[in-house]
Amino acid sequence: MRAVLQRVTQASVTVGDRIVGSIGSGICVLVGISQDDTQDDMEYIARKVLGLRIFDTSSGMWKASVQDAKLEILCVSQFTLYGKTTKGMKPDFHSAMKSDRSRQFFDDFVALLGRSYCAEKIQTGEFGAMMQVALVNDGPVTLQLDSRKFSYDAQDPEQAAKAAAKLAAKEQRRSKFDKVIPPSA
């Protein structure tokens, strides 16, 4: 699962002439879902979205998360985050989860954010629609999240050891965020 997180002073999603989602200060999250994503990927990205300290406080920069600051979240489904452009000139989206499954996955992700934080502070776009996303990026602050960044098969033993160490460190960091979103049973 991938996400592009942007700190914003305002953001909205329009479909045709209707505004379907709109927030003030907070974060706009573009959400990409791959065909291999699981509940673990969803929980990892949700913990990051809610827990990343990207907001300033009176005690300094980068001290508060969206949850700490009680700000809003706009989630927009974005299958193009899984577009591959390595061959030819036309993007390949075969790694993205098919829309029949990804709609439920996206809805479950938004519901998880709502249960873990405050459902009233979360807005979305319209799944599958041609949307216009407008935002004012604050900072600008834009971060890329990927739940699978370190889970790959290494070819040689040295690379495998490095990958295992990175995965162990990732799991250790994840455990620190369990108080934000407890892992599923």
Report the distance separating Cα 36 and Cα 48, nearest Å.
19
10 is catalytic: no
User: 3-state DSSP helix/strand/coil percent for the chain, to nearest 5?
Assistant: 30, 35, 35
Active-site annotation holder among 14, 67, 79, 109: 79
Active-site annotation holder among 6, 67, 78, 124: 78
Distance of CA 148 to the CA centre of its chain: 12
C-alpha dist (Å) from residue 177 to 31, 147, 174 = 20, 14, 5
Distance of CA 38 to the CA centre of its chain: 14
6 is catalytic: no
35 is catalytic: no
Active-site annotation holder among 35, 38, 80, 104: 80
Active site residues: 78-80
